[in-house]
Chain A
Amino acid sequence: ILNVEQSPQSLHVQEGDSTNFTCSFPSSNFYALHWYRWETAKSPEALFVMTLNGDEKKKGRISATLNTKEGYSYLYIKGSQPEDSATYLCAFYYGNNRLAFGKGNQVVVIP
């Protein structure tokens, strides 16, 4: 069983503040790292799939970086808005359509 760790588990952010959280994964046999956004009562939706060391991806106010050599990825939210409240999942792809998910970073943006 692969160990994918996300920290912090939950955080409260004031509206307008920026925040970031971490996903740690095995640094060997890397194929890809996924980030998903999961709102309550919905299903997870993809934010990013990153495959190369040093990858940086951006979607609106959300961005992510990837370090495959040391086995971590950061997700950043700039200028948090209430609609950013969700759980953010990272998943490590270890081949043959198998993803190992972390437990998620639960974000609550306080208006």
Chain B
Amino acid sequence: NAGVTQTPKFQVLKTGQSMTLQCAQDMNHEYMSWYRQDPGMGLRLIHYSVGAGITDQGEVPNGYNVSRSTTEDFPLRLLSAAPSQTSVYFCASSERGGVNEQFFGPGTRLTVL
């Protein structure tokens, strides 16, 4: 099992550009989440999904869109990148939500100039 994979590992964008961060898991987990990690802050929840076709907003959703068309994939879209979105992004999955451990991907380091 590859676990949770994320692409790309690194990305540099200019302000106003859009892009999609990819996340996939091969553990057949229903629950998936996106977090961002900023210096001096804990991991903050951006969006989450409790199954294919079901997504909802987390703590810091503004500027991001998600969709979940399959169990395996949970892409995060930046609509119009801003310097405030410079961060490290982690995708995570779990078997039954928060009563089970989260499995994290390796992260994507995004810089917006």
Asked if A4 is at the interface of the complex by the 8 Å CB criterion, the answer is yes
Of residues 33 through 51 on chain A, the ones whose CB sits less than 8 Å from some CB of chain B are: 34, 36, 42-46, 49, 51
Q: Which residue of B lies closest to A1 (CB)?
A: B59
- Given A96-B56, A98-B58, decide whether A103 and B102 contact each other with a Cβ distance below 8 A: no
Whether the pair B45, A99 counts as a contact (CB closer than 8 A) is: yes
Q: How far is the CA of A94 from the CA of B59 in the complex (A)?
A: 12
Majority DSSP secondary structure for residues of A touching B: loop
* Residues of B in contact, count (CB < 8 Å): 28
* Cross-chain contact of B43 among A42, A45, A46, A101 (Cβ < 8 A): A101
Q: Which residue of B lies closest to A102 (CB)?
A: B42
The minimal Cβ–Cβ distance linking B109 to chain A, given in whole angstroms, is 11
- B-side contacts of A49, CB under 8 Å: 99-101
Asked if B40 is at the interface of the complex by the 8 Å CB criterion, the answer is yes
Of residues 20 through 41 on chain B, the ones whose CB sits less than 8 Å from some CB of chain A are: 31, 33, 35, 40-41
Q: How far is the CA of A45 from the CA of B100 in the complex (A)?
A: 12
Whether the pair B104, A97 counts as a contact (CB closer than 8 A) is: no
Q: Which residue of A lies closest to B32 (CB)?
A: A97
